[in-house]
Structure 1
Amino acid sequence: MQNNDFVNGLLDFVKRSPTPFHAVQNMVAMLEAAGFQRLTEKEQWQLKDQPAGGKYVVTRNDSSIIAFRLNQPLTAGMFMVGAHTDSPCLKVKPNPEVMNQNYLQLGVEVYGGALLNPWFDRDLSLAGRVSYVDANDQIAHQLIDWQKAIAIVPSLAIHLDREANENRTINKQEHLAPVLMRLPEQEVDNSKEAGPRLKMLLLDMINAQMEAAGNHKVAAVQVLDYELSFYDVQAPAVVGLQDDFIASARLDNLLSCYTGLMALMGDDTGQNALLVCNDHEEIGSVSAAGAQGNFLKSVLKRLTGSEESMSRMIASSMMISVDNAHAVHPNYPDKHEPNHGPLINAGPVIKMNANQRYASNSETSALFKHRCDQVNVPVQSFVVRSDLGCGSTIGPVTASGLGVRTVDIGVPTFAMHSIRELAGYKDAFYLYKVLRHYYT
């Protein structure tokens, strides 16, 4: 695979994955097309005998995914890559409809540590998962995506706030509700409950999607609940005078999910290989589908069959936790630790922290550097300034939960947690090369 083809595939994947649900759906489709067999947690697994035990994929909550291939006895260990499917965003509240000054708005909660200013004046759409009752009185679920721009969070004009460029603050409750439409006068009646409006739109969309797809599912009759997120409809793009960068929403961390996925599907031989992409990393990983849940441990226990076998496998295993790193910013170089400012398009970054906010240590760092050297991939190091707080990843959670050797790495990125992030055109492919080599 060439760099151009890889980047085009990455940008297409990110564009088609506005929520973790869509990302997992797309990953499952790609894995099944590559010969991976679908498993479900509630059924007994009939796996092929070792070695050459086949290729499998299992999901949880439709938003977390584990895919693995078995080529060696399990005592040889499992070579794992971990990432996360979620990104900071604006999530719709359960009873969101607000009619203010004759405008229809939807109330939102801020999910994760979003950089809020870039959300203003962007063309926003809405996507997610909807749970409903069908005509047979059964609960069903459907992914929806408006795809087109249906909302915007307009800025307050500078004429009404002359100090906006110096000290404007954002109130998450009062200032972030997207505007969807101007209501005709005859429809405005604040004495009436506005609640059913969104659910009726969702009901119509679900039935229209089934009809357009020739789907013979029983018609939806009542929306029960939903998990919906706003997202920017601007397509991912290659930018820069010399096409140095890729710009997109959700590069943190769909870039890592896609890169790990392509590496896993790249070769059917080599090591026992596993990719886990968890939801809810941006809010601490504390959920059944998050890295602090038992999803990965449960899968590994089912593969090994006993505590002793599990312990032996873990002792020979390794995890590469892949999550974007902060590139040194040319306008804010003082925000970076001297001698530890990763550059874009200079290779993946090993993330270190003495207080174990990252799981890397000298052993796992050396192993990753050696893998990079073997495929001529440059590698960098990142340490946060000693007077700044350090973020974290699924790496320490997984390392402590399993006892597995772990290294935290990622591609250098500008504007992390913005509605539009910036990474290097070369770096994603560098990462793919080393992860593919790691799996073989």
Structure 2
Amino acid sequence: MTPSPQRPEDRPGRAHADGLIRFLTDSPTPYHAVRSAAELLEKAGFRQLDETGSWTAAHSEDGGAHGRQGGGPGSSRGQGHYVLRGGALIAWYVPAGAEPSTPYRIIGAHTDSPNLRVKPVPDTGSGGWRQIAMEIYGGTLLNTWLDRDLGLAGRLTLRDGSTRLVHIDRPLLRVPQLAIHLDRQVNEGLKLDRQRHMTPVWGLGTPGEGDVVRCVAEEAGVPAADVTGWDLMAHSVEPPAYLGRDQELLAGPRMDNLLSVHAGATALAAAAARDDLTAIPVLAAFDHEENGSQSDTGADGPLLGGVLERSVFARGGTYEDRARAYAGSVCLSSDTGHAVHPNYPERHDPGHHPMPNGGPILKVNVNQRYATDGSGRAVFASACERAGVPWQSFVSNNAMPCGTTIGPITAARHGISTVDVGVAILSMHSARELCGAEDPFLLAQCMDGFLTSP
């Protein structure tokens, strides 16, 4: 008899993909994404550290990962900590017995995605429509935001300096496309003006000053008069979903690059349950990768280096220990890459056609748009072999400009050996992207192999 095909819900990666769906749904902005990742890590015993407080006691007192089961000085248990700053998170687990010069195994990713963000004076309108003024963030595929039901989410800053997260996850906005009757050549080439054509509607009538802020403040449960600043952005309210006859694909928003953030947090939590680690596993989830990484929460800022140095010094280390730790460290920079597009195969290198569900991809560019070299390839291959997962290679068509990641920035800024990897997807930078349903799990397994390698 022919064996019956495996049911989608019984596949090895299904539970991880289900978790990714929840993570994407709960994380419409970088600020929500780092909170979601922190919640996942807290379940594994990690605890938050205040950047303005002393870390010396935190690295020696009872607690950290497994702290509820015992710990502290002389204990066989390690300690897990994390720092939140805006839309960035740095988390690390110090195994019991780790020396100040113990090297790091770092997973790097980013929390931001191209989208539409609310301008400082948001209330606008035309022709009897109430609209919200938007600024374009990152390399957005503008047409994918047309005629899509959008919500609003982000962060409000109050008069006392505190912040509130807000998530309006219902149809509130829409960027309407011009009817074909008014643009008969639209199918010959759609041209969108970023200033004039990307302003969503959200009602009828005359726009009133403060309308947008009042609406969002009400949703957040705070007085509008107390709101003195905001970082708000639109998101599609269509939920992630399995796709295809056999549900072997997964469609959803912000896979670039929350897919890697979720996999990294999952792998770090798993590593914290082990007692045989020889390096300190780290997750560095940065903001602002999509516009160059130059911010206090971006990969080109001081956040990662400052956190790692403080961890060395808090454990009694010196600058020499810090230098030794960095020299022995490796970073796995994880970001999405391009799966071969069936309608545009000529846009890809003919010898490198990554496919969904083929396993994580090794990203190579000899001009250092990716940081991978031969040594990095060996590290990645070893991690995949250790985890028992397949892997693929990606290199761009020579005629196509190559994108870049936080990998080269991390390598150059910190002098840490770095390799660029990821998951192959379609529709990168769209409001809704597509990947293989097994690949997020395979990436997390690869990360686990990397973090726990001897």
* Residue 167 (structure 2) aligns with: 145
CA distance in structure 1 between the partners assigned to 2:237 and 2:144 by the alignment = 14
SS in 2 for 1:23: helix
Moved over 2 A (4+): 48-53, 72-76, 202-208, 219-222
CA distance in structure 2 between the partners assigned to 1:4 and 1:358 by the alignment = 30
CA distance in structure 2 between the partners assigned to 1:411 and 1:64 by the alignment = 21
1:38 and 2:48 correspond? yes
* Residue 283 (structure 1) aligns with: 291
Whether contact under 8 Å (2:91, 2:282) holds in the other structure is yes
CA distance in structure 2 between the partners assigned to 1:229 and 1:26 by the alignment = 18
Q: Read off the aligned partner of 1:163 and give its amino acid letter.
A: Q
Equivalent residue runs for 1:41-440 within 5 Å: 41-45=51-55, 46=57, 47-48=59-60, 52-61=77-86, 63-71=87-95, 72-133=98-159, 138-183=160-205, 188=206, 194-207=208-221, 221-268=225-272, 269=274, 270=277, 271-305=279-313, 306-440=318-452
Distance apart, 1:140 and its partner CA: 2.2
**1:306-354 C-alpha deviation (Å, 9 max, x unpaired):** 3211110011111000000100101000000111121111111111111
Distance apart, 1:439 and its partner CA: 1.6
Distance apart, 1:207 and its partner CA: 2.3
**1:375-412 C-alpha deviation (Å, 9 max, x unpaired):** 22111111111121111101000011111111000000
Tell me which moved more, 68-77 or 225-234. 68-77
Q: Read off the aligned partner of 2:37 and give its amino acid letter.
A: M
Tell me which moved more, 365-374 or 346-355. 365-374
**1:116-175 C-alpha deviation (Å, 9 max, x unpaired):** 111101010000001122xxxx23211111111101111101011110011220000000
SS in 2 for 1:170: coil
Tell me which moved more, 340-349 or 406-415. 340-349
**1:237-296 C-alpha deviation (Å, 9 max, x unpaired):** 010111111100000000000000001101322231000000000000000000000000
CA distance in structure 2 between the partners assigned to 1:17 and 1:296 by the alignment = 22
CA distance in structure 1 between the partners assigned to 2:12 and 2:80 by the alignment = 25
Distance apart, 1:82 and its partner CA: 0.4
% identical equivalent positions: 39
SS in 2 for 1:14: helix
SS in 2 for 1:419: coil
Structure 1 residues not aligned, in runs of 5+: 209-218
Q: Read off the aligned partner of 2:339 and give its amino acid letter.
A: A
CA distance in structure 1 between the partners assigned to 2:82 and 2:40 by the alignment = 11
CA distance in structure 1 between the partners assigned to 2:227 and 2:311 by the alignment = 38
Tell me which moved more, 86-95 or 160-169. 160-169
Distance apart, 1:2 and its partner CA: 4.0
Distance apart, 1:75 and its partner CA: 2.7
Whether contact under 8 Å (1:122, 1:232) holds in the other structure is yes
SS in 2 for 1:150: strand
SS in 1 for 2:141: coil
CA distance in structure 2 between the partners assigned to 1:52 and 1:253 by the alignment = 32
Whether contact under 8 Å (2:146, 2:174) holds in the other structure is yes
CA distance in structure 2 between the partners assigned to 1:139 and 1:60 by the alignment = 14
TM-score (structure 2 length as normaliser): 0.89
Whether contact under 8 Å (1:314, 1:404) holds in the other structure is yes
Whether contact under 8 Å (1:27, 1:261) holds in the other structure is yes
Distance apart, 1:52 and its partner CA: 4.7
CA distance in structure 2 between the partners assigned to 1:116 and 1:155 by the alignment = 11
CA distance in structure 2 between the partners assigned to 1:238 and 1:203 by the alignment = 34
Whether contact under 8 Å (1:89, 1:231) holds in the other structure is yes
Whether contact under 8 Å (1:54, 1:69) holds in the other structure is yes
Whether contact under 8 Å (2:84, 2:90) holds in the other structure is yes
Whether contact under 8 Å (1:350, 1:409) holds in the other structure is yes
SS in 2 for 1:177: coil
SS in 2 for 1:24: helix
TM-score (structure 1 length as normaliser): 0.92
Whether contact under 8 Å (1:207, 1:220) holds in the other structure is no
Q: Read off the aligned partner of 2:172 and give its amino acid letter.
A: I
Tell me which moved more, 165-174 or 69-78. 69-78
Whether contact under 8 Å (2:213, 2:224) holds in the other structure is no
Structure 2 residues not aligned, in runs of 5+: 1-10, 61-72
Cα RMSD after superposing both structures? 1.5
Whether contact under 8 Å (2:106, 2:332) holds in the other structure is yes
